[in-house]
Amino acid sequence: MKTSTTFSILFWLKQSKAKNGKAPLYARLTVSGQRAEISLKRKIKITNWNATKNRVKGTNQEARTINEYLNQVQKGIIQSKNELTLENKYITSQAIKSRYLKEDEQNHTLNDIIKYHNEDMVNKLKWGTQKNYFTTQKYISKFLKKYFNTSDIYLKQLDYNFILKFEKFLREYQPLDHQKKMGNNSVMKHIERFRKMITL
């Protein structure tokens, strides 16, 4: 299933926090309708802001400095999105924000936890049980590719809806090596193994 993604960047003044005629400057990232905001740690006069052009009015030194800063921020956000795309990560406004702010460097992904689980279970689980986990991991990989067009996803992006979609995928999946789809018990076993991995 191919997914299309819309992406935009908007600079704006948060006038609800205005004081003495100045308001803080923010960047708003929007990916497929979902927003994330980044405080740019700058305050400017409301009367100096051109909302149409998303830039400060005028050509004086202050205006040039802030506008150049906004250009750098825009380039940095686009670069963050491109990095995530090259890494085949699931693109969301929050993921781009985290990458831009360098907050995602220590964040684990689903593949990280699968790798950790595989290394951890070598001497703890029987081979038959390990094989079952490998099968579950294979279905996770197929699910990510079909629903999100990616090979990995940050753990913080997992939610209840993700599990519901994974369950739906399992129930509808048609294996190539036999004709019948998975029964309820098989689906629940995969969900159980998936939950055990992410609770790590």
Tell me the whole-structure pTM to 2 decimals: 0.58
pLDDT, tens digit (0-9, with 9 covering 90-100), for 12-24: 999 999 999 999 9
- Cβ neighbors of 78 (< 8 A, separation 6 or more) are 9
> What confidence tens digit (pLDDT) does each residue in 42-84 have?
999 999 999 999 999 999 998 999 999 999 999 999 999 998 8
Three-class secondary structure of residue 42 per DSSP? strand
Provide the pLDDT confidence category of residue 1 given band limits of 50, 70 and 90: very low
Band the pLDDT of 178: cuts 50, 70, 90: low
Distances (CA, A) of 80 to 9, 84, 88, 163, 170: 12, 6, 12, 27, 33
Query: Is the pLDDT at 2 greater than 60, yes or no?
Result: no
CB 36 within 8 A of CB 97: yes
Residues 6+ apart with CB under 8 A from 22: 43, 44, 45, 46
pLDDT at 174: 81
What is each CA distance from 117 to 111, 134, 189, 193, in whole angstroms? 10, 10, 17, 11
What does 112-136 look like in DSSP terms, one character per residue?
HHHHHHHHHHTTTS-HHHHHHHHHH
| pLDDT digits 0-9 by tens, 104-156 | 655 678 888 888 888 777 777 788 888 888 899 999 999 998 888 888 888 87
